[in-house]
Amino acid sequence: MSLDRLIENIVKTQNPSAVGLDPRLEYVPEYIIRKKITKYGSTLKAAAKAILEFNKGIIDEIHDICPAVKPQAAYYEMYGPDGVKTLAKTIKYAQSKGMFVITDGKRNDIGATMEAYAAAHLGLTDVCGETCEAFGADALTVNGYLGTDGIAPLIAQCTKQDKGIFVLVKTSNKSSGELQDLILANGKTVYAAMGEMCEKWGELNVGKYGYSGVGAVVGATYPEQLEELRAAMPHTFFLIPGYGAQGGGAEGAAKGFDRNGLGAIVNSSRAVMCAYKKEEGCPETDYAKAARREVIRMKEDLLGCLQKIALE
């Protein structure tokens, strides 16, 4: 179990960012939607097919300069079983191009049920002796509210498959503090307690580069907490949402990195997917090229705040 493959991809591309594939149908260019609706009518299937084509176009354009994609399960589930099939195909396609895939599902449950989620999203499913892959991402975001019973089954599955997880610690949204910032009797915050649990869950699974397979989600919108948690969680790799549309900047996000420019990956979704809508005069058929330009812009923005990205 580790996030070593992700770290290697980051070093190779010299890019500490992930592209969130959260494709609301209104992000998809008209010409793609029209094609699918002509064929399948205004159905969930048409939407799912349009999104798959959209995703593949973006992956084709960015896979050589971006280490990872993070599809958000919700945007596939809203298109029903057909949408979920598009999620599975998107994961496979991105992996076939060498990208590390983080399914953002924020799954959580206990015991045998969490084993089922682990098999679904990271592992393998046995069907009467045949081993099948359901979704097969490289990492999964999870919610640790249920404690170790919800994490141990993932660790077991990830160890077999060299995969990883990211546990929500301090999320990027405005109301994240309602629960996460509450002060415990020992003076610590709830999010710090969750952070300590992450370090503990990961301690037996530290990879080659000093980070364990148990990562944490910490929002770019809270730079102080990022800095605090970076110091408190030396073996925990961070997935940092909230850059761009949500208001987090590169300087704040940089607080989540170590002195080698490692230890974190910053996610951007809408700004990349909808780059073609913001670029003046960009035809919608160039949506993927516009996405590539935004990936490069973001990478340079982040690199401007880091000294280097190197394994030592």
Catalytic residues: 106
Nearer to a second copy, 6 or 137 (CB): 137
Spatial contact of 276 and 284, defined as CB atoms under 8 Å apart? yes
Q: How far is the CB of 7 from a second copy (least distance, A)?
A: 26
Q: How many CB atoms lie within 10 A of CB 70?
A: 25
Compute the least distance from the CB of residue 159 to a second copy, in Å. 18
C-beta of 54 vs 117, nearer to a second copy: 117
Min separation Cβ 212 and a second copy, Å: 18
Name residues whose C-beta falls within 8 Å of residue 81's C-beta, 6 or more positions apart in sequence. Answer: none
Closest contact distance (angstroms) between CB of 192 and a second copy is 11
Toward a second copy, which CB reaches closer, 102 or 190?
A: 190
- Cα 31 from Cα 27, distance rounded (Å): 12
Q: How many CB atoms lie within 10 A of CB 272?
A: 28
Q: Which of 197/295 has CB closer to a second copy?
A: 197
